[in-house]
Amino acid sequence: MFSFFFKKENRLEELIYKYLENFQLIYENFEKAVFSCINEPHCKEFNFLKEQTDKHESKADDIIEEINDLMYSKVLIPDSREDIMNLLHGLDKIPGDLEIVLFMMKYQKLVIPEKFMKDVQDLITVSIEACETLSKQITGFIKKESGTRGFMKIIDKHESHCDYIEKRLIQKIFTSNIDPFVKLQLKELILCMGDISDRADKISKMVNILSMKRRV
């Protein structure tokens, strides 16, 4: 009986690591997609990388479903099940945020003007760094390693940096002489990009709370 329980618990950890590996593929393909054709959203490479991002996001949903089935077959006590599933469902919203950005770039045919290019690239780079750090934080939490709070502080700095870039960029957009409708499109795109680090920051704080609960 006990060996069966531990096998299921080990399988749960394997699935979480599998999800995190897939999560990494999602944000890496997202970053490549944005940078490959940031000023030409109709290029073939953009479309390919967007499709890859969508494929890995679909796989992530399948992994979450398998984890959910395993969790509710009594592999963990009820409180622990709820904590882990809330964490994973929160994390799983980030791929959705990434998909929205790529969707907007492709179907709204958004081209980033040269004057805003550097800020947009910085915003994406720091957002992806927040995702990378979050993945490390969750891995450490699952392995019961120390350093959860340190990762949280790093992600908090990334989020603050993104917030600064986001506000500066929107200010530049609305003080420029580009078409008013394009201004609104770009503002919406920038806000969606900003959601990535916001989400990572919230999940990071959740991980820190779970880490503290474990020590009580």
DSSP conformational letter for 75 = I
User: In sequence order, what are the residues at sequence separation of 6 or more whose Cβ sits closer than 8 angstroms to the Cβ of residue 22?
Assistant: 56, 59, 60, 63
Amino acid at 135: S
Question: How many angstroms separate the Cα of 153 from the Cα of each of 126, 132, 150, 201, 206?
Answer: 14, 14, 5, 9, 13
In this predicted structure, what is the pLDDT of residue 76?
56
Report the alpha-carbon distance of residue 94 to residue 25 in Å, rounded: 13
Range of 141's domain?
Answer: 2-215
Average pLDDT by stretches of 10, the chain with 216 residues: 49 90 94 82 78 89 86 62 87 94 88 92 97 96 91 98 98 96 96 98 96 80
Report the alpha-carbon distance of residue 163 to residue 200 in Å, rounded: 13
In this predicted structure, what is the pLDDT of residue 47?
82
What's the structural domain count of the chain?
1
Report the alpha-carbon distance of residue 142 to residue 144 in Å, rounded: 5
In this predicted structure, what is the pLDDT of residue 139?
94
Looking at residue 33, which CATH number applies to its domain? Answer: 1.20.58.220
Q: Does the CA dihedral 155-135-24-103 come out positive or negative?
A: negative
Give kind and range of the element (H or E) at residue 101: helix 93-107
